[in-house]
Amino acid sequence: MKRLARHAGGARGKAGFFKTFKKNLPLTLMALPALIVMFLFRYLPMSGLLLAFKRFSVRKGIFGSDWVWLDNFKFLFETTDAWVITRNTICYNVLFIAIDLILAVAMAIGLNELLNKRRAKAYQTIFMAPYFLSWVVVSFMAFSLFSVDDGLFNHLLAYFGFKGVDWYSEPGKWPFILTFFQLWKTVGYSTVMYISSLTGISNDYYEAAVLDGATKWQQIKWITLPCLKPMMIVLTILAIGRIFYTDFGLFFQLPRNSGPLYPATQVIDTYVYRALKETGNVGMAAAASLYQSVVGFLLVVGANLVVRRIEPDSALF
């Protein structure tokens, strides 16, 4: 009897599966091209993770190359620059995440509070425009400002009687320069993300608050910010997952690969690129990429666990 019951249950389960599949067939067919692209360009290349544990040879290929296991990871930890590149990567990302969050939320709320919606859309377009610029273009814009001979800033300093600055030889000034250009380029995109969340907040909340005599600041504090909190948490968790990655263009193109600036601009991505360019060790670059991915995955899971323990409804998964 038990065997017949299990058989009947399995038959009903299969019938239910095929019924659900048939019902969702149009949606499945619509998603099929995206699934194929994802498989080809996301999952299939994961076989290349083997390179992190091999001494790659073009003649032998990925699967035929000799195993070296963890030897490829040693260059990141045995070099004298390991502390510098790790410190720069983490500190810059923490700084970018914190300031981007504050500025993007503030700008989104400010644009949402503008009564003239046409002007708000114009400001939104202006803030968003730098996001579409290549870092190569931005690097030339920065060079026009910081060039020793023809830079705008040095001309202004000379006009007021001060001595010009060799910007591309003084690493102490570049944490501020990199932070400014990173935020100038990316805050607009984050602002749009928060504005999209603001449009989903019902006006009934604000109307009830006005009837209760709430000021504009009280409406922002008790309605807008709590409604934005889930989006803020999700974007922050995703950003934490990439805390061991950096924008390669920002740290390579903007300083124009200037050697004296390495103490302030050298990060894991640029270090791996320069090491790969000099040594041609593909396995070493693959090991660094795998290391960044694994650490990023653990950070996302850890941050989500913390959020889920504090406020389960705001957790990512």
- Residue-wise pLDDT for 149-159, tens only, equals 888 999 998 88
Average pLDDT, the chain: 85
The pLDDT of residue 182: 94
Are 192 and 239 in a shared domain? Answer: yes
Q: Are residues 129 and 2 in the same domain?
A: no
The answer as to whether 64 is a domain residue is: no
Q: Are residues 29 and 74 in the same domain?
A: no
Q: Are residues 182 and 83 in the same domain?
A: yes
- Is residue 178 situated within a structural domain? yes
pLDDT under 50: residue ranges of the chain = 2, 4-5, 8
pLDDT at 4: 43
Burial of 6 (0-12, 13-18, 19+ CB in 10 A): exposed
Q: Domain range holding 238?
A: 70-134+171-314
pLDDT digits (tens, 9 = 90+) for 20-62: 878 888 888 898 999 999 999 888 888 888 888 988 888 888 8
Tell me the residue type at 60: K
- As a whole number of angstroms, the distance between CA 62 and CA 42 comes to 17
Q: Say if residues 219 and 212 touch (Cβ distance below 8 Å).
A: no
Instruction: Check whether residue 22 and residue 90 sit in a common domain.
Output: no
Query: Whole-prediction pTM value?
Result: 0.81
- Whether residue 5 is found in the same domain as residue 129: no
- Residue 217 is part of a domain; what is its CATH number? 1.10.3720.10
Residue 263 and residue 177 share a domain: yes
Same domain, 75 and 1: no
Q: Domain tally for the chain?
A: 2
